[in-house]
Amino acid sequence: MKPSSRIITSSFLLLMALSLLKGQMIQGYTNFSVEILNPTSIERTWNDLSLLYQNQYHTPEEVIAELYQLNETAPDLVNLTVLGQSIQGRDIHLVTITNEQITTPKAGVCIISQHHAREQISMEAALRFMIRLVNSYGKDEALTHYVNTEEIYIIPTLNPDGLHYVVGNDTMEGDPWLRKNLRAIDDDNDGECDEDPYNDVDGDGIISGYDVFGKGLSDLHFMYSYYEGIDDDGDGRVNEDLIGGTDLNRNYDYRWNDSSLDTGTGSDALSETFPGFSPFSEPETQIICDFMTSHSFSMAMSLHSGINTTYFPWASGSTWAQSDRYHDIYTDLKSRLPIYFFDDYLRAGLYPTSTQSIAYTSAGEWGDWAYATQGVQVPMTFEIYHKAGSEEYVAVEFENLTHKIFRFDTIEEYFAPPEGKIDALWFDILPAFDYWLETTPQLEVASLTVIGNNSEGAELTIKFKIKNTSPRVTTIAEVGVFDEHLIPFSGTEGIVVFSKLIEGESLSGSFKTILNHELGVNEEFKLFIGNNFVGFYPMIIKQSIIKKATGYFDLIGFLLAIPVVVMLKRRKTSVKLAGC
């Protein structure tokens, strides 16, 4: 072989070897692109809604009409279902507000309105909150984000029978003071039910209520209430067989009928806080039990009226279950709500002024049950109206050295504002509802990287950084990694689980896994990170060749090929010269 031929052959073989080396190096140098699937808003196609029935309290039928309007206006945001029926057979509705096009399980928040019949203002607040969410979607960035990333469950009225009786009853004398549900009970054991209700004794068109307080050394303590009435059935007793049976907010299965507590105990069905004949004896509370046990809530809120304040567990004790956390939430709310909201009832001298004590202990109460048995870390009873501190609404009926009796002439003076003032109250309290969504714990995936190659059996190292966005509440449980079917994901060292995150905390972590098959270019696999309380956050991991690196190796091949071309050129020239 001639020297020139040897040069050509050697250069060609070197080029081939480098080309093979080039291919091997590119195949082993893999880029994993990571896509964090942030929620995409749906297109808003509707105009702002208004209540169908304004400046009035809704009957059960009018409530349903409002719910259908919401669902029909924004069907991709509002879902309407029936959870079951009340004691008299009325539907109890659940409204779910969320971006339904995002099917990944999300953080959940629950709001329950109107355990008590006469507290219909709580239902009005729930209606207005739902309209606020629909009207703000696509306009308000924060509220749009919450609707996209949370499942907001609202039960507008848990006691529709009671709502009918205090608002929508046109066939009999309504009882604006009715607290309980409409279970018929023969209170006086005469074989008849509900035959001796309250009456307007003085003929002034109203039924007055009276609160009796005992005088202590430094303050008043509530003892009991009573109302106007006559002996309807002629048995010598007044108001001894009233309409209504069970206090729904004393019917839950936590310390139910515990005789050591102040309210919600005993067998006297005439009591305003009669707990029922057994835990969850009422269809209304059984509905709440079934609903909440099938979901995971870090936070839940029960709306009430009759006082302006917030209650946290324990209602059955004298201290808070989580003093620091609840105090922080209480302080946050106090900074966002009007001054009167927290101070009005204190000026009346009716209740203790300490935020860590309550006027009385309660058995079988919703918030204690939710905390103790359902894992809800912040079940708040939000009391949204009370005007007993104003002289125009309350009169001193009687006072001596040991007792003081206050008279309330209409329900508007105690549990519900006049109809013309409903909206004004709503605008005062709506910051608390926005705060509730803001404080519900969620995760923010700050960064995610993947290191490794795409071949079968290759080990991938996945690094991430996440943050709990709630300023006040933990992720409740540990945070885990899940596959596309939301089954716990197993890495090389078993199921991948990390610690729970406290409020505002960031967590950096990593885990390793083995590819069970070669991952093709642009082939992807999906993982989720989260838990049942904060929701699950999807991440798509793809494999693709690094183009910049490919170009670098192509350039090397091109540069190495130049001498070969030159050699070939020289060889051709020399042959021509030899032929002359």
d(CA 197, CA 243): 6
For residue 85, CA distances in Å to 129, 288, 416 come to 24, 12, 25
What's the chain's Rg over C-alpha atoms? 34
- Averaged pLDDT, 230-257: 89
539 vs 550, which has greater pLDDT? Answer: 539
d(CA 351, CA 222): 8
pLDDT tens, position by position, 324-382? 999 899 889 888 988 777 654 333 333 333 444 456 789 999 999 999 999 999 999 99
- Averaged pLDDT, 9-37: 48
d(CA 380, CA 153): 15
d(CA 392, CA 385): 15
Nearest Cα to 450, choosing from 522, 528, 511?
511
Nearest Cα to 163, choosing from 88, 67, 68, 70?
88
The per-residue pLDDT for 14 is 42
- Averaged pLDDT, 377-404: 81
d(CA 456, CA 459): 9
pLDDT tens, position by position, 203-219? 777 788 888 999 987 78
The per-residue pLDDT for 359 is 64
pTM of the model: 0.83
- Start-to-end CA span in the chain (Å): 23
- 266: confidence class by pLDDT, cuts 50, 70, 90: very high
Peptide bond into 314 cis (omega under 30): yes
Is the separation of the CB atoms in 440 and 150 below 8 Å? yes
Residue in the structure block whose two tokens are 């995936």: 445
The per-residue pLDDT for 387 is 67
Torsion of CA 86, 90, 95, 101, to 10 degrees: 110
Residue 17 in this model has a pLDDT that exceeds 60: no
The per-residue pLDDT for 342 is 64
In terms of DSSP H, where are the helices of 419-546? 422-439
Which element (helix H / strand E) includes 411? none
Is the separation of the CB atoms in 99 and 41 below 8 Å? yes
566 vs 508, which has greater pLDDT? Answer: 508
Question: What SS3 class is residue 20?
Answer: helix
The per-residue pLDDT for 520 is 81
Q: What angle do CA 141, 146, 151 make, to 5 degrees?
A: 155
- 24: confidence class by pLDDT, cuts 50, 70, 90: very low
- 579: confidence class by pLDDT, cuts 50, 70, 90: very low
The per-residue pLDDT for 369 is 98
Locate the domains of the chain by residue range. 3-24+548-578, 160-438, 442-545
Is the separation of the CB atoms in 322 and 503 below 8 Å? no
Mean pLDDT of the chain: 83
DSSP 164-216: HHHTS--SS---TT--S------TTSSS-SS-B----TT-SSS--EEEEEEE-
Residue 547 in this model has a pLDDT that exceeds 80: no
Distance of CA 54 to the CA centre of its chain: 27
The per-residue pLDDT for 288 is 98
- Per-residue three-class SS string for 313-382: CCCCCCCCCCHHHHHHHHHHHHHHCCHHHHHHHHHCCCCCCCCCCCCCCECCCHHHHHHHHHCCCEEEEE
- Averaged pLDDT, 422-432: 93
- 201: confidence class by pLDDT, cuts 50, 70, 90: confident
Is the separation of the CB atoms in 270 and 187 below 8 Å? yes
Q: What CATH number labels 160-438?
A: 3.40.630
- Any idea what DSSP says for residue 272? T
The per-residue pLDDT for 560 is 37
- 102: confidence class by pLDDT, cuts 50, 70, 90: very high
Helices then strands, counting H and E runs in the chain, come out as: 11, 21
Residue 531 in this model has a pLDDT that exceeds 70: yes
d(CA 392, CA 386): 13
The per-residue pLDDT for 39 is 82
Is the separation of the CB atoms in 479 and 531 below 8 Å? yes
- Averaged pLDDT, 240-268: 93
Is the separation of the CB atoms in 82 and 94 below 8 Å? yes
d(CA 521, CA 519): 7
Is the separation of the CB atoms in 539 and 528 below 8 Å? yes
59 vs 410, which has greater pLDDT? Answer: 59
- 38: confidence class by pLDDT, cuts 50, 70, 90: confident
Is the separation of the CB atoms in 468 and 505 below 8 Å? yes
- 308: confidence class by pLDDT, cuts 50, 70, 90: confident
Bridge partners, 465 (sequence order) = 447, 508
Six token digits for residue 120: 């219909």
β-pairing verdict for 299-304 and 378-385: parallel
The per-residue pLDDT for 232 is 83
Nearest Cα to 114, choosing from 90, 79, 147, 135?
90
For residue 510, CA distances in Å to 182, 292, 346, 460, 487 come to 56, 34, 53, 10, 19
The per-residue pLDDT for 413 is 66
Give the domain 442-545 fold. Answer: Immunoglobulin-like (2.60.40)
The per-residue pLDDT for 521 is 77
Nearest Cα to 163, choosing from 128, 118, 112?
118
Q: In this structure, which amino acid lies at residue 438?
A: E
pLDDT tens, position by position, 431-488? 999 999 999 999 998 888 888 888 888 898 999 999 999 999 999 999 999 999 999 9
pLDDT tens, position by position, 70-88? 999 999 999 999 999 999 9
User: Exposed (0-12), middle (13-18) or buried (19+): which is 393, by Cβ within 10 Å?
Assistant: middle
Six token digits for residue 425: 């109250």
d(CA 183, CA 321): 33
Angle between helices 323-336 and 422-439 (to 10 degrees): 140
- Averaged pLDDT, 142-150: 96
Is the separation of the CB atoms in 420 and 116 below 8 Å? no
